[in-house]
Amino acid sequence: MSSTTLAVRPTGVERVLADDQLIVSKTDLKGRLTYTNDVFLTISAIEEQDAIGRPHNLIRHPSMPRGIFRLLWDTLRSGDELFAYVQNLALDGAHYWVFAHVTPSRDAQGRVVGYHSTRRAVSARARAEVERLYGQMLQVEAQHPGRGADEASLAWLQDLLTEQGQTYSEWLWSVAGGAR
């Protein structure tokens, strides 16, 4: 793979993570991959030597709201963990959904030195709810082209959840229903 990879276009082909599979990856503080397990490499259609050192967002699907990644990074930078539903894009154009748990990795002195993510399968019920919500977030982002789209959709999400009397975590776990 060259250092200037062509943009990957979604093919519409879906891969489904098996119930007994876990995707594991680690990154440095800038989000560059430092470790990936075999499941990550296989489902993402990438070789280990082409993954390590690359930004984790190389598998970002264009249908993912930027507001979710804003929430993720804001949460991680505050030192907290986050669970989220994510649609990823493999380098061959296939896509796959995951239920992600992302947490800061700390050294012996407690300083954050990177991030660790474990992902598992998503239930059909949860996915339907998530796709509906993410579709609404994408509509908000379309109304705010360029910079600020992530802030706008995250603000919209937080307002919606406040109206429902829920935090993001409460909504997520209500949708998870056991995750799968």
Residue at 7 is within a domain: no
Amino acid 6: pLDDT:
52
Amino acid 149: pLDDT:
94
Residue at 11 is within a domain: no
User: Is the Cβ–Cβ distance between 87 and 10 less than 8 Å?
Assistant: no
Amino acid 8: pLDDT:
87
Residue at 112 is within a domain: yes
Amino acid 179: pLDDT:
47
Say how many domains are in the chain. Answer: 1
Which structural domain range is residue 108 located in? 23-177
Residues listed for the chain: 180
Where residue 32 sits, what CATH number does that domain have? 3.30.450.20
- What b/e sequence results for 16-37 when a residue is b if at least 16 CB atoms lie within 10 Å of its CB, and e otherwise? ebeeebebebbbeeeebbbebe
Sheet architecture: strand order including 112-120: 33-36, 23-27, 112-120, 95-106, 82-89
Residue at 37 is within a domain: yes
Amino acid 97: pLDDT:
96
Residue at 16 is within a domain: no
The CA distance from 123 to 129, in Å, is: 10
Question: What does pTM read for this prediction?
Answer: 0.89
Residue at 17 is within a domain: no
Residue at 18 is within a domain: no
Residue at 4 is within a domain: no
Q: Mean pLDDT, 10 residues at a time, over the chain (180 residues)?
A: 61 94 96 97 96 93 94 94 96 96 96 96 92 96 91 97 93 74
